[in-house]
Amino acid sequence: MALLEVRDLHVWFALPSGRELHAVKGVGLDVERGELFGLIGESGCGKTTTVLALMGLLPSSASVAGSVRVDGADVLSGGEKGARAHRWTETAMVFQGSMNAFSPVKTIGWQIAEPMEIHGVASRRAARARAGELLELVGIPAAAARRYPHQFSGGMRQRAAIAMALSCEPKLLLADEPTTALDVMVQAQILELLQRLARELHLTVVLVTHDLPLVAHICDRAAVMYGGEIAEVAAVDALYHESRHPYTRMLFAATPELLGGKDVTSIPGSPPRLDQPIVGCAFRPRCDSAVVRCATDHPALAEVARGHEAACHLNDPATGVLSVPDAGQPAGGAG
Amino acid sequence: MSGRSGMSGMSGPILRLDELRTYYPARRNLVDWARRRPRRVVRAVDGVSFEVHEGEILALVGETGCGKTSTIQTVVGGFPATSGRVVVDGRDVTRLSGRRLRAVRRITQMIFQDPYESLNPRLRIRKAVEEPLQVHKLVASRSERRRLASEALERVGLTPAELFVDRFPHELSGGQRQRVAIAAALILNPRLLLADEPVSMLDVSIRAGVLSLIDGLRRERAMAVVLVTHDLSTAAHYADRIAVMYLGRIVEEGPTADVLRNPQHPYTQALLSVVPKSDPRDRFVPRVLEGETPNPANVPAGCRFHPRCPVATAECTVVDPALAPPRASRAAGHRVACILTQGPPPVEEREAAGANNA
Ligand SMILES: Nc1ncnc2c1ncn2[C@@H]1O[C@H](COP(=O)(O)OP(=O)(O)OP(=O)(O)O)[C@@H](O)[C@H]1O
Ligand SMILES: [Mg+2]
Enter the ipTM. 0.86
Nearest Cα to Cα of residue A329 among A272, A299, A289: A289
E-only strand ranges, B197-302: 224-229, 241-246, 249-255
Q: Which residues of A touch B256 (CB under 8 A)?
A: none
Q: Which residues of B touch A184 (CB under 8 A)?
A: 63, 230-232, 271, 274-275
Residue of A49, A208, A278 best suited for mutating to test ligand 1, as the one with most atoms within 8 Å of CB: A49
Residues with CB under 5 A from ligand 2 (ion): A 48, 96
CB contact under 8 A, B272 and A258: yes
What separation in Å is there between the alpha carbon of B93 and the centre of ligand 1? 46
Q: Which residues of B touch A259 (CB under 8 A)?
A: 236, 260-261
Q: Which residue of A has its CA nearest to B277?
A: A213
E-only strand ranges, chain A: 4-14, 20-31, 36-40, 62-70, 73-74, 91-94, 172-176, 204-209, 221-226, 229-235, 302-305, 308-310
Nearest Cα to Cα of residue B102 among B148, B137, B51: B137
Q: Which residue of B has its CA nearest to A258?
A: B233
- Closest in A191, A237, A331 to B281, CB measured: A237
CB pairs under 8 A between A and B: 137
CB contact under 8 A, B179 and A334: yes
DSSP single-letter state for residue B86: E
Q: What does the alpha-carbon distance between residue B53 and residue B67 come to, in Å, rounded to a whole number?
A: 21
- State the closest ligand 1 atom to the C-alpha of A177, by its place in the atom list counted from 1: 27
- Closest in A217, A241, A335 to B277, CB measured: A217
> Residue A40: nearest ligand to its CA?
1
Asked, as a colleague might, if the bond just before B160 is cis with ω within 30 of 0, I would say: yes
What does pLDDT average to over chain B? 86
Task: Enumerate the β-bridge partners of residue A221.
Answer: A37, A235
pLDDT at position B31: 65
CB contact under 8 A, B205 and A267: yes
Q: How close A246 comes to chain B (CA, Å)? A: 13
pLDDT at position A331: 39
Q: What is the pLDDT of residues A82-140, one digit of tens each?
A: 788 888 889 999 998 888 889 999 999 999 998 888 877 788 889 999 999 999 999 99
Phi then psi for residue B30, to 5 deg, are -60, -40
Q: How close A123 comes to chain B (CA, Å)? A: 33
Q: Which residue of B has its CA nearest to A221?
A: B280
Q: Which residues of chain A have pLDDT under 70?
A: 320-335
Q: Which residues of chain B have pLDDT under 70?
A: 1-11, 28-33, 36-39, 115-117, 344-358
pLDDT at position B345: 57
Report residue A117 CA to chain centroid gap: 28
**Within an 8 Å CB–CB cutoff, is residue B232 touching chain A?**
yes
Pocket lining for ligand 1, CB < 6 angstroms = A 13, 15, 21, 23, 41, 43-49, 59, 61, 96, 210, 274
Q: Which residues of B touch A186 (CB under 8 A)?
A: 63, 292
